[in-house]
A and B are shown apart, each in its own frame.
Chain A
Amino acid sequence: MIQTVTKIAMPVDETLRIVKNRIGSGQGKRISIVTGTHGDELEGQAVCFEVARRLQECPELLSGTVDIYPALNPLGIDSITRGIPGFDLDMNRIFPGTEDGAMTEYIASKIVGDIAGSDVCIDIHASNIFLREIPQVRINTQTSKELVPLAKYLNVDFVWVHAAATVLESTLAYSLNSIGTPTLVVEMGVGMRITREYCMQLTEGIFSLMKHMGIWSGEAGEPRKPIISTDGQVQFINAAASGIFIPQVEHTKQVRKDDYIGDIVSPHEGRVVERILSPCDGMVFTLREYPVVDEGSLIARILEV
């Protein structure tokens, strides 16, 4: 059933609604699937569709509640804007919001209030337009003990346990985790695109997790065993010069130290300005998708194993 989480009047003849699809009885354990915080991240759209489709095909196999929030930032999705249009504001930096705050803060507080109490929340992101990511769960060290065991059901390739940064305290996931709603952040694919293979992979994982929670009695495959970042070290490759990046390596591939990652070229001069080699043996789990780079732009991340 489509429900309105919150709504607010826009200045000229329009109402902004944040909606969710509640599937199931509203009883028992509850999983919330959330996406669309950044308007240019669309991989989660295909996951929401596929989860809703499968559940609606076999409703008798669901014994709990699945809440699907497909668009926390509908104005952003509609206008191909990463942040909240009109505010130039990253929505994932305003949580938990306040009920008596500005429109954006008010919406953020209503969203947190609605998701709060879920047994698990999956917050699906799709990197940005610049970088392609393998399906991964990102977890703050502060919550890793509780969340890493849950992340292993999500059928992702990689679980990145990263250091706490104060700036991340304004994210939806941090806000929910801090009030006792376990929230897993998924990053996968690339902005403005849908990578069908990844979306299906995560969908399988969500059903595995639901089975583990005891709310899904249908089929669910055995989740793949992810690499945990604590098994190795993440190496960053940043551009040493501005130019156009032309990759020579495939995303997700294993590389050896000094393997050829790609070139940064100057098209008008017909010159390679930087030849990029791998700093270590490992897996390329992040790879630059958007060709134009400034000095410092992230080119790749490699999990050194």
Chain B
Amino acid sequence: MERKIIYELKSLYRDSFRVTGFEFGQGEKSACIVGALRGNEVQQLYTCSQLVRALKRLEAEGHVREGKSILVIPSVNTHSMNIKKRFWPTDNTDINRMFPGYDLGETTQRIAAGLFETIKDYKNGIQFASFYIPGVFVPHVRMMKTGYENVDMAREFGLPYIVLREPRPYDTTTLNYNWQVWESNAFSLYAGTTDRIDYGDVTLSVNAVLNFLRKEDIIEHSAFVHEGYIASVVEESALVHVQTAAAGIIDRFVAPGTNVTRGDVLSCVLDPYDGSVRSEIVAPADGVVFFAQEEPLVYANAAVYRLIRG
């Protein structure tokens, strides 16, 4: 394993900002795994740390294939992480809206450019991503329908679901999109939570990446790793959005992964002063809870669940 600084930016009063990578094996740029792009993506950071740990052992035991190299970058936004901020400390810009970057542009454009210059030539690009609404997903692989997406390869992770979605205007500036444009096989892995650690989902995500690397013949396993699931492919547009009818405090009865039947009460929105029920949130269809929002206070019309129709 070689630890190396991929990008560095000097700061006036803080320590230099550094993007640090961990390289395993030598030769063809086979796979790059990127963790936290935002300062609150602690689950993504921790997942990468466990992946680095696993790969270190596999490399020491000679299980990284000859002529293949893997790069893991646990965090691209340490300066925000250390002050518990999601976006860039000074101007609040999002590094994941700056790709492919511009080396003469603004600060986060330069960071994106510095990172992308190093990682754009990898054959496979995997990003541990997060959602802008605080909540928990069933772990899955998410792919944009750019024409470059490869669903069969996504199955190699062995995660329960593969979600396909149409690109939106802002997607053209994300890491995943630009990896695809540069002809990498790009995958976004949603590892459950964001700003808190779910250890079970971390294990699932690490195993998913190891499964993928093994099936792509980049590593061989020295120990038993569960093969995972036969993934169901879901179109994001087919997910059922379940919204609140009223604002208040939410009392949730079901967690992500739960099978629900049409008419089941998923949660209640309560009056925050007297605890009376303002509205019941009822499953509009049979299905599986795919996403659950986590905040205790909810607005009206808030999408608190997303279901995969059964």
Contact residues of B between 294 and 310, Cβ < 8 Å to A: 297-303
Query: How many of chain B's residues have a CB under 8 angstroms from any CB in A?
Result: 40
Q: How far is the CB of A128 from chain B (nearest CB, A)?
A: 8
Contact of B241 with A170 in the complex, beta carbons under 8 Å? no
Q: Which of B90, B109, B297, B300 contacts A12 (CB 8 A)?
A: B297
Q: How far is the CB of A88 from chain B (nearest CB, A)?
A: 6
List A contacts of B285 (CB < 8 A): none
With A11-B247, A11-B249, A296-B106 as contacts: A243 and B301 at CB distance below 8 Å: no
> Is B259 interfacial (CB-CB < 8 Å)?
no
Contact of B169 with A242 in the complex, beta carbons under 8 Å? no
> Is A82 interfacial (CB-CB < 8 Å)?
yes
Output the nearest chain B residue to A168 by Cβ-Cβ distance.
Answer: B169
Contact of B172 with A243 in the complex, beta carbons under 8 Å? no
Alpha-carbon gap, A238 to B104, bound state (A): 7
Contact of A266 with B299 in the complex, beta carbons under 8 Å? no
> Is A100 interfacial (CB-CB < 8 Å)?
yes
Alpha-carbon gap, A292 to B12, bound state (A): 9
Contact of B12 with A243 in the complex, beta carbons under 8 Å? yes
Alpha-carbon gap, A4 to B51, bound state (A): 53
Q: In the complex, identify which listed stretch (A61-69, A101-109, A113-121, A219-227) lies at the interface while the others stay far away.
A: A101-109
Output the nearest chain A residue to B170 by Cβ-Cβ distance.
Answer: A167
List A contacts of B170 (CB < 8 A): 93, 166-167, 170
Alpha-carbon gap, A102 to B300, bound state (A): 8
Contact of A238 with B273 in the complex, beta carbons under 8 Å? no
> Is A297 interfacial (CB-CB < 8 Å)?
yes
Contact of B303 with A102 in the complex, beta carbons under 8 Å? yes
Q: Which of B87, B107, B272 contacts A294 (CB 8 A)?
A: B107
> Is A58 interfacial (CB-CB < 8 Å)?
no
Contact residues of B between 81 and 117, Cβ < 8 Å to A: 86-87, 90-92, 97, 104-110
List A contacts of B87 (CB < 8 A): 88
Contact residues of B between 140 and 185, Cβ < 8 Å to A: 168-170, 172-173
Contact of B303 with A244 in the complex, beta carbons under 8 Å? no
With A242-B10, A296-B105, A296-B110 as contacts: A13 and B299 at CB distance below 8 Å: no
> Is B204 interfacial (CB-CB < 8 Å)?
no
With A238-B104, A297-B107 as contacts: A100 and B169 at CB distance below 8 Å: no
Q: Which of B105, B172, B241, B300 contacts A9 (CB 8 A)?
A: B300
Q: Mark A71-112, 1 if CB is under 8 A from B, else 0.
A: 000000000001100011100010000001111001000000
> Is B192 interfacial (CB-CB < 8 Å)?
no
Contact of A103 with B300 in the complex, beta carbons under 8 Å? yes
Contact of A238 with B172 in the complex, beta carbons under 8 Å? no
Output the nearest chain A residue to B10 by Cβ-Cβ distance.
Answer: A242
Q: How far is the CB of B283 from chain A (nearest CB, A)?
A: 17
Contact of B109 with A8 in the complex, beta carbons under 8 Å? no
The residue among A169, A238, A242, A294 with the most chain B CB atoms within 10 A of its own CB is A294
With A13-B273, A242-B9 as contacts: A82 and B92 at CB distance below 8 Å: yes
Contact of A167 with B91 in the complex, beta carbons under 8 Å? no
> Is B133 interfacial (CB-CB < 8 Å)?
yes
Q: How far is the CB of A149 from chain B (nearest CB, A)?
A: 27
Alpha-carbon gap, A13 to B271, bound state (A): 9
A-B contact pairs, 8 of them (CB 8 A): A8-B301, A11-B249, A100-B301, A101-B241, A102-B299, A238-B104, A242-B11, A294-B9
